Amino acid sequence: MRQKTKGQIEQEQAMQASGLLRDEIALLYEECKEKLAEVENDLMDIAQDRAAISQEFINRVFRAFHSVKGAAAYLLHEPMKRLSHAAENVLSEVREGKMVLTADLAEALLAAVSRLKEMGEDIDRELEIDFHTELESLNAILKPKSSARVELNLAASIDLGEAAPAVSNRTSSARRLKMLVVEDELTSRLVLQDLLSKYGECHVAVTGEEAVKAFRMALADAAPYELICMDIRMPGMDGVEAVSQIRAVETDDGVLSSNGVKIIMQTGVEEPKDVVASYHALCDAYLVKPIKKSSLLDALSKMGLIA
């Protein structure tokens, strides 16, 4: 009997944890491949000097890598997560103006895209695809620009789709956080309030529209939220659209998503497209209901919000 690969064991664990069927996992990989195909075309235009580099262009490529990283974390696909996260880190430096997206840099990112696409084709995880050459290439690009925060994020694999690295002073458990729970279902709202209230001030909203309004008001008062727990399925504006608008508000205020409010998406619907859409909207983590205390606190810890 043929021995299972490490990847196949991880995939079985992902299926058990998420409740996804094989066909649904295949759809999630397909979503990743679509994002990578878009990125590949964009980067080829830069590598071959066929397109101008704009902030919109950079943000589009950043979002694609962030989406793939989030899906890979959900699938427990460690190699795909690590490589897409390294690519995202590079784009984060470009977004912040610390690095220029040159043709050579585009080529290095294209090599990573090619390897990620290869992983996406191996739906059954039969192969242990070597990605270290591409990973080391991206890490070497980052090292001259490195700081303690970059080294920390590159040294450890990051679960739950942690956002691109950002300096955080919110690591003390004694710090009182300002949080917003966006949930239209009473029981889920009360559970989250109970779990989070010991870490700070916890406000609530029951619609996406209310969440965006509350976020704008908090930002205008110079007292922004540090964490938002956002339900996906809500009447009117859904969670994905609400997160997109919140990130747009931050952008208008000169705040990049990697330095902005941390957002955890939550849903009772195990829908692969929701995972990719949530990360494309630039959420930081994705949890499936019923939310487990251990999973929630683990996410908060990895995002540097609690010790």
CATH code for the domain of 219: 3.40.50.2300
Instruction: Specify the CATH number for the domain of residue 128.
Output: 1.20.120.160
Cβ–Cβ under 8 Å, residues 265 and 239: yes
Classify residue 166: in a domain, yes or no. no
- 3-class SS string, 283-298: CCEEEECCCCHHHHHH
Q: Which residues of the chain have pLDDT under 50?
A: 146-173
pLDDT at residue 270 in the model: 62
Q: DSSP label at 50?
A: -
Domain count across the chain: 2
CA distances from 208 to 58, 217, 305 (A): 27, 14, 23
Q: Name the residue type at position 159.
A: D
Per-residue pLDDT, 13: 82
Give me the numbers of helices (H) and strands (E) for the chain, helices first please. 12, 5
Distance, in Å, from the CA atom of 9 to the CA atom of 103, rounded to the nearest integer, reads 39
Q: What pLDDT shows up at residue 218? A: 96
22 with 83, same domain: the answer is yes
Nearest to 162 by CA among 299, 306, 10: 299
> Are 41 and 108 found together in one domain?
yes
Shared domain for 115 and 242, answered yes or no, is no
Residue 5: its pLDDT value, please? 86
Beta bridge partners of 229: 181, 264
Any domain includes 164? no
Q: Are residues 86 and 123 in the same domain?
A: yes
Phi-psi group of 97: left, alpha or beta (phi > 0 → left; psi -120 to 50 → alpha; rest → beta): left
Do 105 and 185 lie in one domain? The reply is no
Residue 306 near residue 300, CB atoms below 8 Å: yes
Same domain, 35 and 150: yes
Closest among 240, 249, 224 to 282, alpha carbons compared:
240
pLDDT in tens, 131-159: 999 999 999 998 865 443 433 343 333 34
Is residue 146 domain-shared with residue 68, that is, in the same domain? Answer: yes
User: Is the preceding peptide bond at 224 cis, omega within 30 degrees of 0?
Assistant: no
286 part of a folded domain: yes
Q: Looking at the structure, do residues 194 and 122 belong to the same domain, yes or no?
A: no
Domain presence at residue 137: yes
Task: Tell whether 218 is covered by a domain.
Answer: yes
pTM: 0.80
Asked if 203 and 141 sit in the same domain, the reply is: no
User: What per-residue confidence (pLDDT) applies to 158?
Assistant: 36
Residue 160 lies in a domain: no
Judge residue 251's burial from the number of C-beta atoms within 10 Å of its C-beta, 0-12 exposed, 13-18 middle, 19 or more buried.
middle
The answer to the question of residue 29 being in a domain is yes
In which domain, by residue range, is 263 found?
177-302
Same domain, 134 and 185: no
pLDDT score recorded for residue 90: 95
SS (H, E, C) 167-218: CCCCCCCCCCEEEEEECCCHHHHHHHHHHHHHHEEEEEECCHHHHHHHHHHH
In a domain, 227, yes or no: yes
On whether both 188 and 146 belong to a single domain, the answer is: no
**How many other C-beta atoms can be found within 10 angstroms of the C-beta atom of residue 297?**
15
Whether residue 213 sits in one domain with residue 145: no
